[in-house]
Amino acid sequence: MRIHLTSVFVDDQAKAEHFYTEILGFVKKYDVPVGGGARWLTVVAPDDPDGTQLLLEPAGHPAVAPYRDALVRDGIPLAQFAVDDVEAEYERLRGLGVDFLQEPTAMGTVTTAVFDDTCGNLIQIATQPD
């Protein structure tokens, strides 16, 4: 068993597509209309095109808003992405206008930072030693 796909709920798929591809650097894998203006829109890491997909899922279900609002209010990231160097990625993303709620912080052997994905979620980036 392995993780093939996971998702984040987004307020606006076009805005999310821009942020996750043009800012974060993911690559679009699938973009299929599914009705009602929604799309099956997934992205992958550019160096792993057949790897785990992230579905940028419309946040229309009534349970989504209270769930995400509670996570954001409590400062809890919805997802975590691995990066080679949190400090370097923090500087790169800040230069692109990304709003960080937590600057790079060492937590034992892990360094993390948390940003707002502009689509209703907090996302954590992390570097762990090999």
CATH number at residue 71: 3.10.180.10
- Sign for the pseudo-dihedral over CA of 90, 91, 92, 95: positive
For the segment 23-42, what is each residue's pLDDT rounded down to a tens digit? 999 999 999 999 999 999 99
Q: Is the pLDDT of residue 112 over 80?
A: yes
The residue segments making up the domain with residue 42 are 5-127
pLDDT of residue 88: 97
Nearest to 47 by CA among 84, 18, 10, 90: 84
Could you give the number of structural domains in the chain? 1
pTM to 2 decimals? 0.94
What is the rounded distance in angstroms from the CA atom of residue 126 to the CA atom of residue 110? 7
- Residue 2: which H helix or E strand, with range? none
Q: What is the mean pLDDT of residues 54-65?
A: 96
What is the rounded distance in angstroms from the CA atom of residue 26 to the CA atom of residue 63? 27
